[in-house]
Amino acid sequence: MSIYELRCGHGHTFEVIHSFTAPLPSCPGGGTATVKVPSRFGIAGRAALPPPPEVMPQAWRGTYDGNREYITSLRPAP
Measured from the CB of residue 15, what is the shortest distance to Zn ion in angstroms? 14
CA distance 31 to 68: 53
User: Applying CB under 5 A, which part among 2-10, 17-25, 43-51, 61-69 lies near Zn ion?
Assistant: 2-10
35 vs 56, which CB is nearer to Zn ion?
Answer: 35
By C-beta, is 37 or 56 nearer to Zn ion?
37
30 binds Zn ion (CB under 5 A): yes
Q: Are 26 and 18 in contact (CB under 8 A)?
A: no
Q: Strands across the sheet with 13-18, in order?
A: 13-18, 2-8, 34-37
